[in-house]
Amino acid sequence: MKRSELTEFAVEEEGFKLKICRGTNGVPVVTSSAGLTAVPEAAAASAAAAAATLASSSQNGGEKEDSSIIYIKAPMVGTFYRAPSPESPPFVEVNAKVSENSIVCIIEAMKIMNEIQAEVKGTVVEILVENGQPVEYGQRMFKIKQG
In a domain, 113, yes or no: yes
In a domain, 99, yes or no: yes
Tell me the mean pLDDT in the region 60-83. 81
Q: Is the pLDDT at 35 greater than 60, yes or no? A: no
Q: What is the pLDDT of residues 93-133, one digit of tens each?
A: 999 999 999 999 999 998 889 999 998 999 999 999 999 99
In a domain, 2, yes or no: no
In a domain, 27, yes or no: yes
Same domain? For 53 and 102 the reply is no
Tell me the mean pLDDT in the region 64-89. 88
Same domain? For 51 and 100 the reply is no
State which H helix or E strand residue 41 sits in.
helix 41-57
Same domain? For 52 and 103 the reply is no
- Domain ranges, residue 20: 8-57
User: What does pLDDT average to over the chain?
Assistant: 76
In a domain, 3, yes or no: no
pLDDT value for 98: 94
Say how many domains are in the chain. 2
Q: Read off the pLDDT band of 11 (50, 70, 90).
A: confident
CA separation for the pair 51, 57 (Å, rounded): 10
Calculate what percentage of the chain has a pLDDT beyond 70.
Answer: 65
